[in-house]
Amino acid sequence: MNINIETFYFINQGLQNPIFDLIMPQFTNIGGFAGLLVLCILAVIIFKHYNKEKYLRIAKLSLYALLISAAIALCLKLSFVEKRPFEVLSNVHQLVIPTEPNSFPSGHCSSTFSVITILIHELWENKLIIIILAIFGVLIAFSRVYCGVHYPMDVVVGAMVGVLSGILVLKLKV
């Protein structure tokens, strides 16, 4: 067995408990593209309406990073047609139903980490927010494996796609 599968089983089976079984399915959906897209668009509308230029800029950067990461993740999903763990492994503790068939990379992680990258860069002076955002990203990644819909490498690459998308948007100074 390879380390990706061993780590998957450690998280999905070895850490299985009633509390995580209750919390992780709820938590895992927070990092999805659709939810983050709605939040980013609402933030743009609200901050534009209230003339909050700094936060409007952050919301726009987050939206751009989210869209870029989604496009890259989709291209990768279509290029590397990897089945989800519950489709190929036995005894998978599956807690959610994915919205798309391919596993690699995690779209939830790419979406989450694209927005987190922008927020961390723009709100760097607030250390509490930085810690909360970092924990949030790790929990989204963990939840995708715990819920049985991604391998650990899927979430690592998804997170990398998200971070790189955020950095690209920041470098372009859109």
**pLDDT of 26 over the 70 cut:** yes
Assign 111 a pLDDT band (cuts: 50, 70, 90).
very high
Segment 103-110 shows an average pLDDT of 94
Assign 98 a pLDDT band (cuts: 50, 70, 90).
confident
Asked if residue 130 is part of any domain, the answer here is yes
Assign 138 a pLDDT band (cuts: 50, 70, 90).
very high
pLDDT for the residue 29: 84
Cα 6 from Cα 32, distance rounded (Å): 26
Identify the helix (H) or strand (E) that includes residue 146.
Answer: helix 127-146
Please return the burial class of 29, using the count of CB atoms within 10 Å of its CB with bins 0-12, 13-18 and 19+. middle
Asked if residue 88 is part of any domain, the answer here is yes
Share of residues in the chain with pLDDT > 90 (%) = 71
Tell me: the pLDDT tens digits for 59-82? Answer: 899 999 999 999 999 999 999 989
pLDDT for the residue 107: 93
CB of 142 within 8 A of CB of 14? no
Cα 75 from Cα 43, distance rounded (Å): 27
At a CB cut-off of 8 Å and minimum separation 6, what does 133 contact? 116, 119, 120
pLDDT for the residue 170: 96
DSSP state of 83: -
Q: What is the mean pLDDT of the chain?
A: 91
Asked if residue 119 is part of any domain, the answer here is yes
Asked if residue 114 is part of any domain, the answer here is yes
Asked if residue 9 is part of any domain, the answer here is no
**pLDDT of 57 over the 90 cut:** no
User: Considering its fold, how many domains does the chain have in total?
Assistant: 1
**pLDDT of 174 over the 90 cut:** no
**Count of alpha carbons within 13 Å of 131, Cβ hemisphere only?**
3
Tell me which residue range forms the domain holding 154: 19-172
Segment 43-52 shows an average pLDDT of 78
At a CB cut-off of 8 Å and minimum separation 6, what does 114 contact? 62, 65, 66, 68, 69, 161, 162, 163, 165, 166
